[in-house]
Amino acid sequence: MANVLVTGGAGYIGAVLVPELLEDGHKVTVLDNFMYKQNSLAASFVNPNLNVVVGDIRDRALVAREVAKHEIIIPLAAIVGAPACNRDATAAESINLDAALNIILLASSDQKVIMPTTNSAYGTTRIGEVSSETSTLNPISSYAKHKVEVETALMNNPLNVSFRLATVFGMSPRMRLDLLVNDLCYRAIHERSVVLFEADFIRNYVHVRDVSRVLRWAIHSEKSDGEVFNFGLTEANLSKKMLCEAIQRHVPSFVFVEAEFGKDPDQRNYTVSNEKIESTGFSFEYGLDRGLIELVKGLATLRNSQYSNL
């Protein structure tokens, strides 16, 4: 078992990942500033293998001390997504770029950094084109551009792993409703309708619990060493219209309208190949429908003001 440092470990992915790492028998340190006043790890505090450090990943001295103690580093602390980054560009750059590069620089050659990046780096591609790990990157947002720069530095160590995550969805103890599938499901349940701009734009999706599973897999799998993987559901290369149709099958009262005018502020439009991760033998357990069933149950209990990240 390993000593694992998870930055942002009380966040949306971390709140799923950390309890599962502890269940696997790892010793886990979470470094998080708890900026959303979340208690997402409350059920894990009883575990003696969990250590929590309240702090900011921009504190270089603090990060240096913590990185030095651990064999595995999983940097999750980030301002995620183009809209959130646009609201505070300075914080986004200092966290997503500067602090992430600092972690990579501090890690020694025998420490393994397992980092979620983003498949939004593919930007917008030609109709019919499928983006693999060798495709040319075309990041549009500052979020994607920072992730590309970080991934370039990350892959200088042949132990490190980059997972270019699809848009993540599903329930988490630290819930987010600004992620597209979660947002549309919430609107279907509570508002019953949504207007879609550029409804034919295609993106890829993946469940948060499969993200946790692959990060844990990479700790011990030599197949992951030095590799960049797209990570999303092959079945879920979907346009926004197709995604709404899938939600409508679970929430029949949901109505969506395609706007004839107007633009989506997020201009990503791409189809992704996930064949490389599938070729390792890793299998996805949480398909789109399973995740939508979960969301329909879970989101009926939530109200947006607490979980929107806005």
225-242: average pLDDT: 97
Sign of CA dihedral 47, 50, 55, 58: negative
Specify the residue for token string 């059920």.
43
Mean pLDDT calculated for residue range 93-111:
96
Entry pTM: 0.95
Token pair belonging to 43: 């059920």
Q: Say what the pLDDT of residue 261 is.
A: 73
In the predicted model, is pLDDT for residue 85 greater than 90?
no
Residue 195 has pLDDT above 60, yes or no: yes
Residue 92 has pLDDT above 80, yes or no: yes
SS3 label, residue 141: coil
CB atoms within 10 A of CB 222: 9
Average pLDDT of the segment spanning 185-207 = 95
Contact (Cβ atoms closer than 8 angstroms) between residue 88 and residue 135: no
Dihedral angle at the C-alpha atoms of 234, 235, 240, 243, nearest 10 degrees?
Answer: -150
The whole-number pLDDT of residue 86 equals 85
Predicted confidence (pLDDT) at residue 107 exceeds the cutoff of 60: yes
**267: confidence class by pLDDT, cuts 50, 70, 90:** confident
Instruction: Read off the tokens for 150.
Output: 């970080």
Q: Where are the domains of the chain?
A: 3-307
Q: What percent of the chain has pLDDT over 90?
A: 86
What local confidence, expressed as pLDDT, does residue 80 receive? 87
Q: Is residue 309 scored above 50 in pLDDT?
A: no
Label residue 280 by pLDDT band (50, 70, 90): very high
Residue 154: its H or E element: helix 142-154
> What pLDDT was estimated at residue 306?
57
pLDDT score at 17: 98
Average pLDDT, the chain: 94
Does CATH number 3.40.50.720 belong to domain 3-307? yes
Task: Output the pLDDT for position 184.
Answer: 97
User: pLDDT tens, 124-180?
Assistant: 988 889 999 999 999 999 999 999 999 999 999 999 999 999 999 999 999 999 999
Contacts of 46 (CB under 8 A, 6+ apart): none
Confidence of residue 264 (pLDDT cuts 50, 70, 90): confident
User: With 50 as the cut, is the pLDDT of residue 310 above it?
Assistant: no
Contacts of 206 (CB under 8 A, 6+ apart): 165, 166, 167, 168, 169, 231, 232, 233, 236, 284
pLDDT of residue 202: 95
pLDDT tier for residue 21 given thresholds of 50, 70 and 90:
very high
